Amino acid sequence: MMARPCLAVTSGEPAGVGPELCLRLIDHDWPGRLVVLADEQMLGERMRQLGMSIPLHSYEPSDPPPAGALEVLHTPCAVPVAPGRLDADNGRSVLAMLDRAIDGCVRGEFAGMVTAPVHKGVICEAGVPFSGHTEYLAESTGTARVVMMLVGGGMRVALVTTHLPLADVPSAITTTALAETLDILDHDLRERFSLTQPRILVAGLNPHAGEGGHMGREEIEVISPVLERLRQTGMDLVGPLPADTLFVPHTLQQGDAVLAMYHDQGLPVLKHASFGGGVNVTLGLPIIRTSVDHGTALDLAGTGRADPGSLFAAVRLAFEMAGVDTIGCAA
């Protein structure tokens, strides 16, 4: 690893806001190197459209950029880019960008990677089945199970299930899935977030955490037995708790993270508290990966109105997870 930690920042869907958010990284003095993976010509065109003038420095591991320059690892688009207009011909270019960043992280060239948003649909239209960054990273690194966690608004919220239809959630919450998720969450809170004895607040699946079996039996038959077994191994687990009162300030203050059973159980609360400044973290990987908490925002692409707050927060958190002091840099 380089003496000054280096993060790879993938610019995401070229027709979205990712490229212009990456250009804004130059606004701050970061505690390490940032290498933006993007098509250099596309970045130059986006700068001209936005009336910006930023010197671009081609990435070389042994050649840090001069002050005031944005370091770019050229990853070409297949066809020209128009802000706000998706083109399936560039779908594979987006994946090539991810592959380069993943490879660099695995080899130790980069201390971690930060991802700007991609468009799942346009990648699928390019002929590559793609359900999201999280799943792609897991497959690319040979990781059997990963955990999605969002950080923001003073909260850390992890999920047992992610992008599933609500009708499929109960059957997906198995003893194995719950136990493995808690193992990963507890481990990474210790290793990546430096928490000596993390306390995890675990939501129930059903209203009122099942009301003693009157509103569902998943808490009795699956969740509680897993929590009790893992407590015997030393994990500090609270629950299952009714989700409607778990997110009140008094309860949240008693834990270091929340484990929600499904996507829309936990994330609406966090995004209400932090949207525009939240960070998506993939736990369980052999590498560090953080991301913005928003999509490609095609309607804002090329306007200069996109808020870089979430990208700044994702970069800051990635540096912190890599053990770098970020006091004094952007939030």
Closest CA to 39 of 18, 25, 61: 18
What are the two backbone dihedrals, phi and then psi, of residue 133, each rounded to the nearest 5 degrees?
-55, -45
Q: What residue ranges do the domains of the chain occupy?
A: 1-143+285-331, 146-283
Quote the pLDDT of residue 131.
84
Q: Give the architecture-level CATH label for domain 1-143+285-331.
A: 3-Layer(aba) Sandwich (3.40)
DSSP H helical ranges for 169-324: 169-172, 175-191, 218, 224-231, 243-246, 249-252, 263-274, 309-321
Closest CA to 264 of 179, 148, 175: 148
- Joined together, the tokens standing for residue 247 give 């997110």
Strands 199-203 and 257-260: parallel
Quote the pLDDT of residue 3.
59
The CA–CA distances, whole Å, from 317 to 39, 120, 146, 153, 279 equal 25, 24, 18, 14, 8
pTM over 0.85: yes
- Please state the length of the chain: 331
Q: For residues 243 and 265, give the distance between their C-alpha atoms in angstroms, rounded to a whole number.
A: 7
**Cβ atoms 50, 300 nearer than 8 A:** no
Question: What letter does residue 280 receive in the DSSP assignment?
Answer: E
> In the chain, what is the straight-line distance between the N-terminal and C-terminal CA atoms, in Å?
25
The CA–CA distances, whole Å, from 193 to 108, 143, 169, 244, 287 equal 20, 20, 29, 27, 14
Q: Give the architecture-level CATH label for domain 146-283.
A: 3-Layer(aba) Sandwich (3.40)
- Joined together, the tokens standing for residue 278 give 């939240």
- HSE-CB at 117 with a 13 A cutoff on CA atoms is 22
**Cβ atoms 268, 203 nearer than 8 A:** no
Quote the pLDDT of residue 2.
44
Q: For residues 260 and 246, give the distance between their C-alpha atoms in angstroms, rounded to a whole number.
A: 10
Quote the pLDDT of residue 163.
84
Quote the pLDDT of residue 1.
39
Closest CA to 122 of 150, 95, 143: 95
Residues of the chain with pLDDT under 70: 1-3, 328-331
Query: Containing H/E element for 239?
Result: strand 236-241
Q: For residues 159 and 150, give the distance between their C-alpha atoms in angstroms, rounded to a whole number.
A: 9
Q: For residues 201 and 18, give the distance between their C-alpha atoms in angstroms, rounded to a whole number.
A: 34
Q: For residues 223 and 202, give the distance between their C-alpha atoms in angstroms, rounded to a whole number.
A: 9
Q: For residues 138 and 272, give the distance between their C-alpha atoms in angstroms, rounded to a whole number.
A: 28
